[in-house]
A and B are shown apart, each in its own frame.
Chain A
């Protein structure tokens, strides 16, 4: 069984947010509006974080870190869900079942990466321009990055109809597809020949908050000199 993972090369990333907006368009993520934004309620499954070295002088040193859901192999969020609305599926993707979610937001509190978002209101109705493959979330549920799981389903259906396996590169999330600097590489970590596996072995590779033991499947490559 495949183990889907992602490598993000921070040396290539330009912080342009193509991944952020591509994700919004693909997954029907609404803009919440100015009032809600002030309250910190922007929903952004993929978000470009900035790392600042000196907090009194922001901007002197800065690093851009795109952060999707890290799809932990040992996810803290699934353990606290009282209704099994969030779980890790056999391929390692951490999923969220909106119909089951009761909106307690325990998972949001548990996630060390702030990768989960709550629908405080009904931010949008179904309308033109939306992707029909992804449901529009109602008020009161938590949502998160799914590695564009619906694309995997599509790829599988296509492969099944043609009587073959899903080809490498056939399933790519919207963020990786859009990235102009090709900083986001996606693929099967269990396949030793895949580009992600190779890059995950790089000496530049690291994981966010590795010490927590969450075992993320999103792996970063550091900036600067160094091979790999």
Chain B
């Protein structure tokens, strides 16, 4: 017999295996099998998904090995990010595999006792019983649903659920809704969808405090545009001016950083307008043909109204503006000259934290610069965003209980009184729950939000939570708010579920992203969208009829059919194919790529997005849908809203007071901001400015160590928050860099490490909204309300520093 090497080992192995078996221990054989499994090449599949770490909505490619997520990269076909990503995206892996995720539904032992794990059937029946009980008692309106930062079909589904169930209280807790147009744009231009910013084609960008490259709408989309502005090869290097109290990384990258007294951005905009008008650098053609309220005018009753031009020339002289804003006259003039001569230019004053109590007028003043430069409806300026042609849904069926419930006013007072202009007023919510005004809340559903950790009114929310008898959380993590819940029905994280996203503010195109689960759920969690459908089914009647879908996937399937049938737009494809289609389309041809909807749906799932790159035509008329069909310096839309409020509420006094007071007369409707009187420093001599870090995902990212370890580059920090102090201010107070200090406001105090940073005005200190453990700047922020977004004013608080 010939003994080969392989035969020898096989025999030995067989004997050893047999020996192991004989002794009744499978250990070795099992181990060998496991090793074999480990060394086998796993099957690699790339699954498109959508990053949910910020409202940017970048397309992801999830690398899965035998069905398990093992890496992320950008989806190269996705028009929002074209294969690139920001640092937050990679935190998604750590979020998915976080060991502290909730493993399944949890309920309490007794009245807010210890949590105990329960099964899904029990959990769902608990929730259904509670909801149907309240509904039967005619208390449907006392169920409040708090939603966080998300958009698209999950929002549609929740709204539908609320409407069918009969509660007006579907309240979104977030600074700003990215899917709605800014108020200033709504009132001055009459738009009903958000404007798109054609940053990539602009030659000059003037931004008022927008963290364009960090935490604006989508950092990846904006960074790509910035790179094009800088070096596109075909045209000269574009110019970028950043107005900001802090030398943020965005300001570092700007050609000019303009430090400004916080909250005076509107006054600076008016100063720039003054210089543009005085030097006759504004776009006369646009103003003459497409603007209303620039010159003095006479209304139908023969009353004379002062126009924007004369008002600005009279009130906002450069010396006055310079004194109020701290920006030198020379700088104002130079910015105005840049703005008047470099075309196309775009001025950004959207999003970012509120500028102050004059937020609306500040944003209107900033937006008026876009009119003065004629940047509206032109390439490289502000474009309109088309609406997605999704299939319309059948109207919600409402039974008597639902109709009765919806007759009640909203608990947060949105759309009423001082909150007349907002759709949600989370800031007012805790107080109204505590006061049971106008009625007590009997059940609270928390979806994708953590007001007890991330809201400036977190203490009031905590007290309000104590008064609510039944709180349900859908969070996948045991965060501050879920820890107070009675029932937790953990959602999947975003790599495990079906979802869509409808990104806005893009350069003139519309886009719909679709993601199927990239990996099977790791734990006993369920997609909340599916849970909503299950509850609706269990509640039966008109609810089941209004939400007839078996799974969220079916809902998405139905909605996306409209895209297939629209006769325009494409499922994203490789660049070569894409440019061919564009050439054809320019010549007037559009051909469908797919023979059936199923084929379309399959391709959408494989490539990740549908988009319509041609969208709406770029034209000025398309934008101006105001009563006068023009850009309105005198916002007659706002005047109409005030008249409406007066008619509905008698005097409308509360609303007018929030706008600035009846004594301001016409000025209420014009984009002008009153120059505030000089304030004595008092007990709290420093201004607090909080800001969002590039590395901060939605919710803070406490479970994402990579991002917490290297949160920023402009200061050296790791694993803890900090306060940025000007070296001069620090030396006056005897504070050295790296030392812990107390930052104290009228509301409370926090201990933070001092970082000396000269990129600030000396009387402003800056605290990042750092997501990790430790001091929370929300402990400092005074609970001032902002009537134009219903969220707290984050940057008006005054503080002092003490050595710790």
Decide yes or no whether B705 CB sits under 8 A from chain A: yes
Given contacts A14-B253, A21-B90, A131-B71, A64 and B713 within 8 Å (CB-CB): yes
Asked, given contacts A14-B249, A15-B252, A26-B71, whether A21 binds B706 with beta carbons under 8 Å apart, the answer is yes
| B-contacting 9-mer, from A50-58, A80-88, A109-117 | A50-58
Q: CB distance B718 to A180 under 8 Å?
A: no
Contact A180 B719 (CB under 8 A): no
Find chain B residues with CB under 8 A from A21 CB: 87-91, 706-707, 710
- Nearest CB in chain B to that of A178: its residue: B85
Does A182 touch B at the CB level, under 8 Å?
yes
- Could you tell me how many residues of chain B have their Cβ less than 8 Å away from some Cβ of chain A? 60
The reply to whether the CB of A20 lies closer than 8 angstroms to some CB of chain B is yes
Which of B91, B96, B237, B758 contacts A57, CB < 8 Å? B758
| Interface residue B655 (Cβ < 8 Å from any Cβ of A) | no
A60 at the B interface (CB under 8 A): yes
Nearest Cβ distance between residue A153 and chain B, in whole angstroms? 13
Instruction: Kindly state whether residue B46 has any CB partner on chain A within 8 Å.
Output: no
Partner of B714, one of A9, A12, A20, A50: A50
A48 with B713: CB separation less than 8 A: yes
In the complex, what distance in Å separates the CA atom of A11 from the CA atom of B223? 12
**In the complex, chain B residues whose CB is within 8 Å of the CB of A168:** none
Partner pick for A14 among B88, B91, B226, B695, CB 8 A cutoff? B226
A-contact bits for B206-245, CB 8 A (1 contact / 0 none): 0000000110000110011011001100000100000000
Residue of A nearest to B85 (CB): A178
Counting CB contacts under 8 A, is B694 at the interface? yes
Distance in angstroms from A188 CB to nearest chain B CB is 20
Q: Report yes or no: A18 in contact with B71, Cβ–Cβ below 8 A.
A: no
Using a CB-CB cutoff of 8 Å, which residues 703-737 of chain B contact chain A? 705-710, 713-715, 718-720, 724, 727
Closest to B213 in A: A14
Complex partner residue of B713 from A11, A15, A42, A130, CB under 8 angstroms: A15
Number of A-B contacts (CB under 8 A): 157
In the complex, the chain B residue whose C-beta lies closest to that of A61 is B252
Q: How far apart are B4's CB and chain A's nearest CB, in angstroms?
A: 30
A residues less than 8 Å from B333 (CB atoms):
none
In the complex, how many angstroms separate the beta carbon of A101 from the nearest chain B beta carbon?
24
Looking at A29-37, A90-98, A138-146, the stretch in contact with chain B turns out to be A29-37
Chain B residue numbers with a CB within 8 Å of A37 are 709, 718-719
Whether A32 touches B247, Cβ cut-off 8 Å, given contacts A16-B213, A18-B85, A60-B759, is no
B83 and chain A: residue at smallest CB distance: A177
* Contact B87–A15 (Cβ < 8 Å): no
What does the 1/0 interface line of B93-105 toward A look like (CB < 8 Å)?
A: 1101100000000
Cβ–Cβ contact B87 & A16, under 8 A? yes
Is B674 located at the chain interface by the 8 A CB criterion? no
Contact A25 B90 (CB under 8 A): yes
Closest chain-B Cβ to A34's Cβ sits at a distance in Å of 4
In the assembled complex, B73 has its CB within 8 A of some CB on chain A: yes
B86 interface residue per 8 A CB criterion: yes
Q: How far is the CB of A214 from chain B (nearest CB, A)?
A: 24
Alpha-carbon distance A25/B85, docked complex (angstroms):
12
Say whether A71 faces chain B, with CB atoms less than 8 Å apart. no
Q: Is residue A59 within 8 Å, beta carbon to beta carbon, of the partner chain?
A: yes
**Chain A positions within 8 Å of B231 at CB level:** 9, 11-12
A181 near B713 (CB under 8 angstroms)? Answer: no
Q: Counting CB contacts under 8 A, is A192 at the interface?
A: no
Alpha-carbon separation in the docked complex, A54 to B757 (Å): 11
Q: How far is the CB of A167 from chain B (nearest CB, A)?
A: 15
Residue from A12, A32, A44, A180 with most neighbouring chain B CB atoms (10 Å): A180
Q: Given the interface contacts A50-B714, A59-B758, does A180 sit within 8 Å of B252 by beta carbon?
A: no
Complex Cα distance, B91 from A131, in Å, reads 14
Contact status B718-A44, CB under 8 Å:
no
Contacts of B93 in A (CB 8 A): 25, 129
Whether A129 contacts B97 in the complex (CB less than 8 A), given A22-B85, A31-B706, A64-B252, comes out as yes
1/0 contact trace for B495-524 toward A, CB 8 Å? 000000000000000000000000000000
Establish whether residues A181 and B226, one from each chain, have CB atoms under 8 Å apart when the complex forms: yes
Q: Is the CB of B247 within 8 A of A12?
A: no
Given A37-B709, A50-B714, A177-B74, A62:B252 Cβ within 8 A? yes
A225 proximal to B (CB < 8 A): yes
Contacts of B253 in A (CB 8 A): 14-15, 64
> Do B87 and A17 touch (CB < 8 A)?
yes
* C-alpha spacing A180/B97, complex, angstroms: 25
Tell me if A127 counts as interface (CB < 8 A to partner B): yes
Convert A178-193 into 0s and 1s, putting 1 for each residue whose CB lies closer than 8 angstroms to a CB of B. 1111110000000000
Q: How far does the alpha carbon of A11 sit from the alpha carbon of B233 in the complex, in Å? A: 13
Give Cα distance in the complex from A16 to B758, angstroms: 20
What are the residues of chain A within 8 A of B708 when measuring CB–CB? 31
Answer yes or no: B802 CB below 8 A from chain A CBs: no
Interface membership of B69, Cβ < 8 A: yes
Q: Does A213 contact B (CB under 8 A)?
A: no
In the complex, B662 has a CB within 8 A of chain A: no
| In the assembled complex, A99 has its CB within 8 A of some CB on chain B | no
Known interface pairs A21-B706, A59-B760; A182-B252 also in contact (CB < 8 Å) = no
Q: In this complex, what residue of B is CB-closest to A17?
A: B87
Say if the beta carbon of A24 comes within 8 Å of chain B: yes
CA distance A59 to B715 in the complex (A): 9
CB of A163 within 8 A of chain B? no
Whole-angstrom CA separation of A14 from B87 in the bound complex: 12
Q: CB of B32 within 8 A of chain A? A: no
Q: Does B639 contact A (CB under 8 A)?
A: no
Nearest-neighbour CB distance to chain A for B568, whole angstroms, equals 29
Q: A22-B85, A64-B249 are in contact. Are A44 and B70 (CB under 8 A)?
A: no
Q: Which residues of A contact B97 (CB under 8 A)?
A: 127-129
Using CB atoms, name the residue of chain A closest to B773.
Answer: A34
Q: Is the CB of A181 within 8 A of B86?
A: no
A176 to B73, CA, bound (A): 11
- With a cutoff of 8 Å between Cβ atoms, the chain A residues found around residue B709 in the complex are 31-33, 37, 42
Task: Tell whether A59 pairs with B247 under 8 Å between CB atoms, given A12-B227, A15-B252, A18-B87.
Answer: yes
Q: Does A38 contact B (CB under 8 A)?
A: yes
Contact A44 to B710, CB < 8 A, known contacts A179-B84, A181-B223: yes
Q: How far is the CB of A178 from chain B (nearest CB, A)?
A: 5
Interface residue? B68 (CB, 8 A): yes
Say whether B42 contacts A16, CB under 8 Å. Answer: no
Chain B residues with CB below 8 A from A11, complex form: 230-231, 237
* Contact yes or no, B223 A58, CB < 8 A: no
Between B247, B714, B760, the greatest number of chain A beta carbons within 10 A of the residue's beta carbon is seen for: B714
- Bound-state CA distance A11–B88 (Å) is 22
Q: How far is the CB of B767 from chain A (nearest CB, A)?
A: 15
A60 engages B710 (CB within 8 Å)? no
Q: Which residue of A lies closest to B221 (CB)?
A: A180
Contacting residues, chain B, for A60 (C-beta < 8 A): 247, 758-759
- Which residues from chain B contact A225 at a C-beta distance below 8 Å? 237
- On whether the beta carbons of A16 and B81 are closer than 8 Å, the reply is no
Residues of A within 8 A of B71 (CB): 25-26, 131
Residue from A14, A42, A180 in contact with B85 in the complex, judged by beta carbons closer than 8 Å: A180
Partner of A24 from the list B85, B706, B719, B760 (CB cut-off 8 Å) is: B706
Beyond A17-B87, A34-B720, A129-B97, list 20 extra A-B contacts (CB 8 Å): A9-B231, A11-B237, A12-B227, A12-B230, A14-B213, A15-B249, A15-B714, A18-B86, A21-B90, A25-B706, A26-B71, A32-B709, A34-B719, A37-B709, A38-B718, A42-B718, A62-B759, A130-B70, A177-B83, A178-B84
15 A-B pairs with CB atoms under 8 Å apart are: A11-B237, A12-B226, A14-B250, A15-B713, A15-B714, A16-B87, A18-B87, A21-B89, A21-B91, A58-B715, A59-B247, A59-B757, A64-B713, A128-B68, A132-B65
